[in-house]
């Protein structure tokens, strides 16, 4: 018989309160990473730029690539190489694609508090000093530009006013030259201003009167590449455009816009935007999201 008296017994482990071993957690789904299939994405952007003039690379890559891949999948061609070929060979598909990826959301008197500052304070000040040259940068189909035209007729009727609208989407520029807006476009517009400066359309819409259209010019232009004339404007609107740009493109655009202003001119940005290096560019902010060039 084996003698076990000298063998140390292991203490008894009470497992009553011992938690069970943790179960391995399931692996998380990989987060979206812009740059996956990098060559496919760049090839698509290059082809789109060649056939339409729209430069998708200036937008935030992660947002834009996700948007494009989701769209291509919905259109039944998830492979970006194959979808790039579709864009080059099917004009209707290119048209639908550009409608999806370019930002053309607008309406007249959007953010009316900003137009209030312009009408009551800024335009009278600028008009008292001479001609007022305005630029609606990234104008889409012209809702903002025609709003500026309407309030300028009210706030500075005798002033020498001109308004330029630019957008990289030629289809929007064609619409802007027509000066026609839907009832939805005009939902924020003061009724008296609409009746004074626009003609009602039979099928529920509004058409800019000739005296407004005479103030306007529209042209296709890429804000980061088109030539600008330094000091060529007293008032520049660029709203709800740069929020989709990467930081480098955003800062470069703001610098270009400020250069286009004369000293004493104003830059109006979107209500979710800001000029990150305003002080270095010689800007102060007398009103929310409105900057004045001081030097």
As for how many domains the chain has, the answer is: 2
Instruction: Quickly list H helices, the chain.
Output: 38-52, 61-74, 80-89, 91-101, 112-117, 123-129, 143-155, 170-178, 191-197, 210-213, 247-259
Q: What is the predicted pLDDT for the residue at 54? A: 77
Domain limits at 44?
Answer: 38-101
Q: Is residue 279 part of a domain?
A: yes
Q: Which residues partner with 218 through β-bridges?
A: 165
pLDDT per position as a tens digit, 97-108? 887 777 666 799
pTM value? Answer: 0.74
Q: Is residue 228 part of a domain?
A: yes
Q: What is the CATH number of the domain that holds 277?
A: 3.40.50.150
Q: Is residue 32 part of a domain?
A: no
Among the candidates 50, 73, 101, a domain finishes at 101
Q: Is residue 60 part of a domain?
A: yes
Would you say residue 9 has pLDDT above 70? no
pLDDT per position as a tens digit, 112-150? 999 999 999 999 999 999 999 999 999 999 999 999 999
Let me know whether 189 and 95 are in one domain. no
């Amino acid at each position: 018989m084996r003698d076990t008296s000298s063998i140390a017994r292991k203490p008894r482990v009470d497992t009553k309160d011992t938690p069970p071993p943790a179960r391995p957690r399931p692996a998380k789904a990989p987060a979206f990473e812009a740059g996956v299939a990098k060559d496919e994405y760049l090839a698509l952007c290059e082809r789109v730029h060649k056939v339409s003039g729209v430069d998708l690379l200036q937008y935030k890559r992660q947002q834009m690539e996700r948007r494009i891949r989701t769209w291509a999948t919905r259109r039944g061609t998830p492979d970006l190489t194959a979808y790039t070929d579709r864009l080059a060979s099917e004009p209707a598909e290119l048209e639908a694609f550009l409608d999806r990826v370019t930002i053309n959301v607008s309406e007249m008197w959007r953010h009316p508090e900003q137009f209030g500052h312009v009408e009551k304070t800024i335009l009278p000040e600028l008009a008292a000093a001479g001609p007022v040259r305005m630029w609606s940068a990234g104008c889409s189909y012209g809702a903002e530009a025609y709003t500026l035209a309407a309030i300028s007729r009210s706030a500075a009727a005798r002033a020498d006013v001109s308004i330029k609208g630019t957008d990289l989407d030629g289809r929007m520029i064609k619409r802007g030259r027509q000066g026609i807006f839907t009832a939805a476009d005009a939902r924020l517009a003061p009724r008296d201003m609409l009746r004074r400066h626009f003609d009602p359309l039979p099928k529920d819409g509004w058409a800019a009167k000739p005296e407004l259209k005479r103030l306007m010019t529209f042209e296709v232009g890429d804000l980061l590449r088109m030539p600008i004339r330094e000091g060529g404007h007293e008032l520049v609107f660029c709203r709800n455009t740069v929020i989709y740009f990467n930081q480098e493109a955003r800062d470069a655009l703001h610098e270009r816009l400020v250069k286009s202003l004369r000293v004493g001119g104003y830059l109006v940005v979107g209500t979710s935007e800001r000029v990150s290096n305003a002080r270095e560019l010689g800007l102060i902010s007398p009103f929310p999201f409105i900057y004045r060039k001081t030097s």
